[in-house]
Each structure stands twice: as structure tokens, then as C-alpha cells.
């Protein structure tokens, strides 16, 4: 469903050289994984015999016994709906190869030999095995021809899955086979491994797999030998990993034989390869083996979907990310101030989250440049909708940060403007609202001229995605420090700042964090904010979720809805999510003209809206395809 495919990495407990016992454990793991909905399972290197057989690999009894066990697995797999990749030693033209056999529904569909045979430190594989690189041979098993070679790519019919195979040391060399296989179209690479444990090796192994997965824009399933291998000189921990484009989806507990599962998002990988044009497909010399796969009726989606994809879920990582983003914002402004020779900044401060963050970033930039904070002209401009709470927070914050405070009440000027255009002040329509926003921007721009300063934009990325900004009002500035920051992340940045500053400022910031998001353009009711943004355009948590998957991966609306239902289960029902998804697409297409002329501002994450960078979109594009898709869901 939606290009997801469940895979498994399994470490059965084996007995060294007991091929009958081992084959039964492998079959048990295959049956269990199939019952759990997996479509592919990967076993460790030489899992039929055990990796640590040493010179027993020179014995005909073991080699012949392993081949018979392979045939037993083949035959008994006929009623198990799962593709299995099993490690086995096989003789081909008088040479012994360390192989991975691909088995499905009673057939051996291909055999891949190990390319790189280690013979250093604790490894003595060249004593027994031959490299499979450039070997051209006919492999006949049980009177049937089987594809054999390091150039095999397995294509699972009925899905978008293509996978390649490498074995243990193959990954550790400078140019792993998985690189070539990925360039030939493999979205998944599997590794049958027997990587022994020593101090710190698990960290190196994990990083190696993550890096190879990221470099090849692929998923990677790593199955490691574990308990049951001989401990004469080495110990194996069964360190299994499933990684997708550099992100660990699942990792086993070491020193505990087990099977791990993960749902690979093939559509996500395809999207990344489409986007990154330096990933160039080269399938020269690759032989594709088709697998006629039957969809597993036991499949169920079991992948964690983060409802806040822009915000790291790990607390330590979130703190680190916030510090990094604040630096990106501040140093972006530092460069612009240095280039223009500007020693003054003008910031409109409302007491809301966005303008608070913009002011904090400006203060940081001025501190970096050793420019006095009093050169920051922080202006509060109360109007018809301003409440005492936001006004007080704005004034107190400005003074606590030691910026220069300026107050200009816009009410009379806006009334004069209404008289000029003959607008009834009692009609609270879009003219009523936007006139206030433009009046504020008009004042900030004139103050910047007066003090030879630069107007710092406060609008965030979520607002620009929805077009929730007044054209040539708060939409405009001389440098938009928040333009790459989504609303859900703005909150965390301000919260992080509160956690790392003195108590006086922290208390103000926490009250700002507790204040409802509002443009405050309509009169308050009983002194309380009457105009709440999320009641009008929808929850920013949903819109940021939509924004991430629309722009980062180009997913279709039905897939985004499916993921959102999982991520926001218990918070929003399907009809609510669908309604706001429709609002998102409608506004996203209709408001591109605002993004087409948005001011400069720093990109801080993987998604950005700049017309000069990440989003080259025509202002008159039609969203009918996307909206019709939602209507027909």
C-alpha cells in the first residue's frame, strides 16, 4: 500500500555445521516473518552452515549437506509467502563460493557470490573461498539452471522494489557492490554478514551502514551472525539493522538473536532520486531477475509517522537543532548587515511568536557584530485588535533585551485611510484587516529610511506556504530571518531560547508561547483575542505536516492523508484532516504569487519556499489535479 514494503532481518540461533538444524530454524523464521506481514527476510552470512566452520568448509560432507539443506528450504518454502535471502557455501566449477541464495515459493531464483574475501586480522576466508568478481559460470542446482553472479538485481513484480545483494566485507571496501547496484536501480540493498564484536565496532558498523544507505539513496537491510556461532576466538552479537536513506528504522538488541521488521517507503526513495539529479542511473552489465510476488495478506502498516516532521523528537537532538537554526538565522542576517554596512535594524514587535523570534535573532546578530543593541529599533504598533496581553509582552520583551523601544498607535492613521478610500470602519472585511498590516509595514519602511536601517521580516515559512500574509504588508521586508522556519519549529526555537536565558526574559517568552496565534486585526472581545489564526486556516501542526510531505517528497494527497491519519490518531479524525488538506492545497496554489516575490531569507532545513532556490513554481498554476484527488478519496 502506497509503495510501502515490509522487510525483516533475522538471526536464528544456529549450531555450527548442523545444517539440518539450521535449515529448520531458518524455515521457522521465514514462517514467523511471513505471518507478521513481511515480504522479504534476510539471514546472516553462511547461515545454513554457520560462519565459523573454518576448515570444515574443505569437507565434502559439509558442502554437500549445505546444498541439500538449501534444497530442503526451497521445497518447504513453497507454502510460505516470503522472499528469503539465505547464506550458503556452494561449489561452482571446482571452486567454493560464499553465497547468498534468493528463494521464493519453492524456487531458487538467483545466487550472488561474495565479491571481497577478507584475509586479515581474525579473518582467513581466502583459505576456503574464492571471490565472485567477474566470474562467469553456469550454476546448476538439482538439474535446474540458476542465475549466478555479482551483477544480479532482483525485481519484485507488482511492487516498485528492486534489491541488490552484498555479503559482509563487500560493504567495508572503498567501492561496495551496493553502490553499483543502487545506480542500476536497486532501492534496497541487503547484506548477509558475520561481523564479530569488539569494543566500539557496533558504532562503526552502524555509521557505515547509515552512510552507505544515504550515499546510495537506498534502504539497507543488514543481518548479522549471532549466538550459536563458535566462540573459539570470536563472539558474534546478531547486530541487525534496517536503514532508509541514512535513517535507522530498526536496530536489534545485541547479544540477543532476534528478527527485526520495518516498512520501507519505496516512494520516498524514488522521490529522492528524482530530486537529486546527480544520482545517475547506470545499469550497464546488470542482469535483472524478476520475482512474481504475491501480496502478503498478513501485511499491516507498522511504521512510526512523526506528526512534527520538522521538529526532532529526541530532546537532546532538538536542543542541538534549535541552536543550529538560530545560528543559521543570525549569521544570515550578519552577512546582510555587513554587506550593506547597515548598523541599524527595524523590527515590528507584536508580542506574538514570529516577531519575538525575529527580535531574538536580530539581537544575536547584533551581538555577533558587536553592534550595540540600542541600534535595534523595536517598534510596537497597537491597532484595533491589539490586546493588553500582547502589548505588554512586546513592550517588556523589547526593554528586557535592551533594544530601543518605539510605540506608534496606527488607529488614527488607518481611520484616515478608510476615509480616503471611503471604507466603512464598521465593516470588518479583508480591507479592514489588510489596511492595518500595510500601515505597519509602511511605518517600518519609513523608519528604516529615517534611521538608515533595515526592516527585518517576521513572517514564517508556514504562513508563506498558506499565503497567510498581507501582500506588500507583513509579506514584505528587507531580510526575512524566519522565512525558512515552519510555525511548529518557531515555537520550539522560542522555547529553547527561554530555557537558555535569564529568568526575566524567560518568563516573558513563556507567556508569549502560551498566547494564541493571531494577527490581531479584529477588535478583541472582553479584552481577549477574538481572531485565532488556527480557527481560520487550520491547525499549523497539520499544515506543517502537509507542507513537509508535499514539498520534500511530492507525495500524492491520498498518501499524505493516510500518513496523517496515523500520525494524528486520537487528535484529528479523517474528515477534519481531509478538510484542512483541501484548504492547504487550495491556498498553496492560489498564493504562489506572494512567494514569487518574497524577500531574501536563509534556508534552515530540507524544505524551503524561496523562488530563487527550492520552489520554482508558476504563480498561475492550477491545483485541480490535487483538489480533485482529495474530493475522490
- List the catalytic residues: 45, 114, 168
Here the cell at position 375 is: 541600534
What would the 3-class secondary structure string for 358-418 be?
A: HHHHHHHHHHHCCCCHHHEEEEECCCCCCCHHHHHHHHHHHHHCCCEEEECCCHHHHHHHH
Count of residues making up the chain: 633
The CA-atom distances, in angstroms, between 431 and each of 62, 129, 424 are: 86, 80, 10
Count of Cβ atoms closer than 10 Å to residue 412 Cβ: 8
Q: Which residues of 326-356 are buried (b: 16+ CB within 10 A; e: fewer)?
A: bebbbebbbebbeeeebebbbbbbbbbbbbb
Contacts of 554 (CB under 8 A, 6+ apart): 271, 274, 275
Phi/psi for 604 (5° steps) reads -120, -15
584 contacts 633 by C-beta, under 8 angstroms: no
Contacts of 221 (CB under 8 A, 6+ apart): 7, 8, 9, 40, 42, 188, 189, 190, 191, 241, 242
DSSP letters along 115-129, please?
Answer: S----STT--GGGT-
Contacts of 267 (CB under 8 A, 6+ apart): 2, 3, 160, 553, 555, 559
* Cα–Cα dist 179/114, whole Å: 15
505 contacts 400 by C-beta, under 8 angstroms: yes
Cell 536601517 -> residue: 453
DSSP letters along 51-104, please?
Answer: GGGGGGGG-HHHHHHHHHHHHHHHHHGGG--SEEEEEEEEEETTEEEEEEEEEE
* Cα–Cα dist 604/324, whole Å: 9
The CA-atom distances, in angstroms, between 141 and each of 80, 216, 370, 566, 570 are: 21, 33, 76, 46, 54
* Cα–Cα dist 277/272, whole Å: 9
Cell 498607535 -> residue: 409
Pairing label, strands 454-457, 345-348: parallel
Element containing residue 440 per DSSP (H, E) = helix 430-450
Q: Which residues of 115-139 are buried (b: 16+ CB within 10 A; e: fewer)?
A: bbbbeeeeeebeebbbbbeebeeeb
* Cα–Cα dist 453/470, whole Å: 22
For residue 525, count CB atoms less than 10 angstroms from its CB and return exposed for 0-12, middle for 13-18, buried for 19 or more. Answer: exposed
Using only C-alpha atoms, the chain has a radius of gyration, in whole angstroms, of 31
112 contacts 177 by C-beta, under 8 angstroms: no
Strand partners, 249: none
Phi/psi for 512 (5° steps) reads -65, -40
Amino acid at each position: 500500500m502506497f509503495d510501502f514494503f515490509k522487510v525483516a532481518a533475522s538471526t536464528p540461533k544456529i549450531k555450527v555445521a548442523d545444517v539440518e538444524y539450521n535449515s529448520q530454524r531458518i524455515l521457522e523464521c521465514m514462517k514467523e516473518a511471513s505471518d507478521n506481514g513481511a515480504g522479504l527476510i534476510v539471514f546472516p552470512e553462511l547461515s545454513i552452515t554457520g560462519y565459523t566452520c573454518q576448515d570444515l568448509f574443505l569437507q565434502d560432507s559439509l558442502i554437500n549437506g549445505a546444498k541439500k539443506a538449501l534444497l530442503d528450504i526451497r521445497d518447504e518454502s513453497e507454502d510460505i509467502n516470503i522472499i528469503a535471502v539465505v547464506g550458503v557455501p556452494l561449489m561452482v566449477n571446482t571452486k567454493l563460493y560464499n553465497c547468498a541464495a534468493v528463494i521464493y515459493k519453492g524456487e531458487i531464483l538467483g545466487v550472488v557470490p561474495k565479491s571481497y574475501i577478507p584475509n586479515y586480522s581474525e579473518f582467513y576466508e581466502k583459505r576456503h573461498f574464492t571471490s565472485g568478481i567477474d566470474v562467469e559460470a553456469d550454476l546448476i542446482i538439482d538439474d535446474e539452471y540458476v542465475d549466478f553472479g555479482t551483477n544480479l538485481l532482483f525485481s519484485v513484480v507488482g511492487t516498485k522494489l528492486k534489491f541488490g545483494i552484498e555479503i559482509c566485507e563487500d560493504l567495508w571496501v572503498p567501492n561496495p557492490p551496493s553502490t553499483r547496484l543502487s545506480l542500476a536501480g536497486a532501492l534496497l540493498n541487503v547484506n548477509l554478514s558475520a561481523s564479530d564484536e569488539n569494543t566500539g565496532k557496533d558504532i562503526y558498523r552502524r555509521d557505515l551502514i547509515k552512510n552507505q544507505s544515504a550515499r546510495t539513496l537506498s534502504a539497507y537491510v543488514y543481518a548479522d551472525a549471532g549466538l550459536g556461532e563458535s566462540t573459539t576466538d570470536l563472539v558474534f552479537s546478531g547486530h541487525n539493522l534496517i536503514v532508509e536513506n541514512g535513517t535507522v528504522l530498526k536496530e536489534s538488541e545485541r547479544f540477543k538473536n532476534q528478527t527485526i521488521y520495518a516498512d520501507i517507503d519505496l516512494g520516498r526513495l524514488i522521490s529522492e532520486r528524482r530530486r537529486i539529479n546527480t544520482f545517475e542511473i547506470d545499469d550497464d552489465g546488470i542482469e535483472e531477475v524478476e520475482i512474481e510476488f504475491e501480496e502478503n495478506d498478513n501485511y499491516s502498516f507498522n511504521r512510526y509517522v512523526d506528526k512534527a516532521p520538522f521538529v526532532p523528537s529526541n530532546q537532546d537532538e532538538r536542543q542541538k537543532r534549535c541552536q543550529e537554526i538560530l545560528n543559521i538565522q543570525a549569521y544570515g542576517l550578519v552577512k546582510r548587515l555587513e554587506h550593506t554596512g547597515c548598523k541599524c535594524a527595524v523590527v515590528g514587535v507584536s508580542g506574538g511568536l514570529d516577531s519575538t523570534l525575529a527580535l531574538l535573532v536580530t539581537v544575536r546578530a547584533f551581538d555577533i557584530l558587536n553592534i550595540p543593541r540600542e541600534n535595534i529599533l523595536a517598534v510596537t504598533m497597537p491597532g484595533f485588535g491589539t490586546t493588553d496581553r500582547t502589548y505588554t509582552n512586546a513592550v517588556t520583551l523589547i526593554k528586557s533585551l535592551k533594544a530601543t523601544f518605539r510605540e506608534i498607535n496606527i488607529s488614527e492613521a488607518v481611520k484616515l485611510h478608510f476615509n480616503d478610500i471611503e471604507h466603512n470602519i464598521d465593516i470588518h472585511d479583508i480591507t479592514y484587516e489588510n489596511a492595518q498590516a500595510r500601515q505597519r509595514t509602511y511605518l517600518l519602511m519609513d523608519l528604516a529610511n529615517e534611521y538608515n536601517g533595515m526592516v527585518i521580516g517576521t513572517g514564517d515559512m508556514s504562513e508563506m506556504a498558506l499565503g497567510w500574509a498581507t501582500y506588500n504588508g507583513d509579506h514584505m521586508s528587507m531580510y526575512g530571518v524566519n522565512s525558512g522556519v515552519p510555525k511548529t519549529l518557531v515555537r520550539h526555537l522560542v522555547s529553547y531560547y527561554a530555557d537558555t536565558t535569564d529568568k526575566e526574559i524567560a518568563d516573558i517568552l513563556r507567556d508569549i508561547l502560551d498566547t494564541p496565534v493571531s494577527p490581531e486585526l479584529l477588535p478583541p472581545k472582553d479584552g481577549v483575542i477574538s481572531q485565532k489564526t488556527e480557527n481560520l486556516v487550520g491547525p499549523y501542526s497539520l499544515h506543517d505536516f502537509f507542507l513537509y510531505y508535499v514539498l520534500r517528497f511530492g507525495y500524492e494527497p491520498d498518501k499524505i492523508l493516510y500518513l496523517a491519519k496515523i500520525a494524528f490518531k486520537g487528535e484529528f479524525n479523517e474528515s477534519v484532516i481531509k478538510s484542512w488538506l483541501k484548504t492547504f492545497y487550495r491556498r498553496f496554489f492560489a498564493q504562489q504569487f506572494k512567494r514569487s516575490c518574497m524577500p531574501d531569507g536563509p534556508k534552515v532545513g530540507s524544505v524551503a519556499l524561496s523562488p530563487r532556490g527550492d520552489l520554482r513554481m508558476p504563480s498561475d498554476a492550477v491545483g485541480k489535479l490535487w483538489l480533485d484527488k482529495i474530493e475522490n478519496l
